Structure 1
Amino acid sequence: MLVREAMTSEPLTATLRTTVKEALVTLSEHGITALPVVDRSGRLRGIVSELDLIEDAIVRDPRAREHAIAVDPLRPPQTVEDVYTRSAVTVAPDDDIAVAVELMTATGAKSLPVVERGHRLVGVVSRSDIVRALARTDAVIASDVTALLSSVGRADWLVEVDDGVVLVTGPANVGEASLARVVAQTVAGVVHVDTAPG
C-alpha cells in the first residue's frame, strides 16, 4: 500500500501567523493532533503539534500550592511561528506505507506531512488513517483484489479473504503465483497473501 492510498488529501493547515488559540481550536474541533505549517504557496514550513501548542500555554494555578508562585514575566507564545517545529519528518505520496509506519515509530510522530517536489504539501498521513486502511472489511478487500486481478487479465482466479489474509486460487505456476501476490499486496487492508493452483 502506498502513502497516497491512506493519506488525507487537502489537510487542515496553519500558517506562521495563525494564533496559538486558533490552532488549538482547529485541533480540538477536528480531533487531530498536529497541523502542517505552510507558506502562501502551499510549501511546507514545518509542523505544529498539540505538545508544541500547550507546552507554554498553561498558566500555573495558584490553588495548586500553599506557597507563593513565582510569576514568569515572559509573554506566552502568541502565534504558530513562536512554537512550531521547523524540521518536520515527511513522506512522499508514492512511498510505501511501511516507511511511514517506521518513521512514526522511530520519531513518535502521530502524523506525517505528505509532500511532493518543492516541498509542496499534498496531504497528511496519520496513525488513524493507517488504522482505517487496515480495518477495511474482508468483502471490500476481496472486491478490490478481484478487480485488480481482472485488470491484469486474471478474472478467472478466485479470491477469498479472511481477517485480511487473501487466498488467490488459480495461479498455475510460480510466475502466476508471484503476480497474484504482487497485485493483492497493493490493496489496502491486506495483511498476507497465499496462492493455490486452480
Structure 2
Amino acid sequence: MIARDLMTTRVIQIQSTATIAEAVTLLKRHTISGLPVVDAKGRLVGAITGGDVLRLFQQRAQKVYYSLIGQTHVIIDESVYQDRDQLLSLPVQKMMSRGAVTVSPDTPVGEIADLMLSQNVRRVFVLEGSRLVGVITRNDIVRWLVSHVDDPRPTPAESGPGGDA
C-alpha cells in the first residue's frame, strides 16, 4: 500500500493571505482539524490546525510574572478571548506551521506512519513535484489497518455447541 492508494484527493486548502477566521470557518464547515496553506501560485507553504489557533490565543493570554529567582506565576488574561476579532483577523501566514511534512504518491504506508510518529504530526501532504495532490491523516492509516485485521471473535461453528465455549 502506498500514499496514492490511501490519500484523500479532495484537499480543502487555504491561501496564506486568508484570515485566521476564514481558516477556522473551513475547519468547522468540513469537520477537519488542519488545512494545508498555499501561496498565490498554489505551492504548499505550511499548515494551520485547530491546535495552532488555540496556541495563538493561549500565548497572547498568558501573563508571566518574574522575580529575582525567576518565573513566579502565570496568569491567564481572559480579555484576550473577548478581543478575539483582532486575533482572528490576522493572516494565516502569521501563525501557520511552516515546513509541512510531505511525501510523494509512491511512499509506502509504513514509511508514512513512521514519519507521522517521528515528526509528531497528524497529517502529511502528498506532493507530485510541487503540486499538492492529496492528504493522509493518522485516521486514514488506522482505518486502513483496522479494515485489514481479521475479526478475532470465533464464528458460531468454532465456538462449539451452545454458542460460547
Asked whether the two chains share a fold, i.e. TM above 0.5, the reply is yes
**What is the identity percentage for the equivalent residue pairs of Structure 1 and Structure 2?**
34
CA root-mean-square deviation: 2.9
| Other-structure match for 1:120 | 131
Question: Could you list the per-position Cα deviations for residues 3-32 of structure 1 after superposition, in whole angstroms to 9, with x for gaps in the alignment?
Answer: 111111021001112211111121122222
Counterparts of 2:78 and 2:132 in 1: how far apart (Å)?
43
Do residues 3 (structure 1) and 3 (structure 2) align? Answer: yes
C-alpha distance 105-68 of structure 1, shift in aligned 2 (>3 A): closer
Structure 2 letter corresponding to 1:41:
K
Query: Residues 118-163 of structure 1: CA distance to partner in whole angstroms, max 9, x if unpaired?
Result: x21001000111122223367xxxxxxxxxxxxxxxxxxxxxxx44
Amino acid at match of 1:42: G
Matching of residues 1-198 of structure 1 within 5 Å = 1-57=1-57, 69=77, 76=87, 78-117=90-129, 119-136=130-147, 162-163=150-151
- Structure 2's unaligned 5+ residue stretches are 62-74, 81-85, 153-165
| Rg larger in structure | 1
Write the distance in 2 (CA, Å) between the matches of 1:20 and 1:105. Answer: 27
More strand by share: 2
**TM-score, scaled relative to structure 1:** 0.58
Runs of 4 or more consecutive aligned structure 1 residues displaced over 4 Å after TM superposition: 67-72
* DSSP 3-state at the match of 2:57: coil
Partner of 1:176: none
Q: Which has the higher contact order (CA 8 A, sep 6+)?
A: 2
Q: What CA distance in whole angstroms lies between the structure 1 residues aligned with 2:95 and 2:139? A: 25
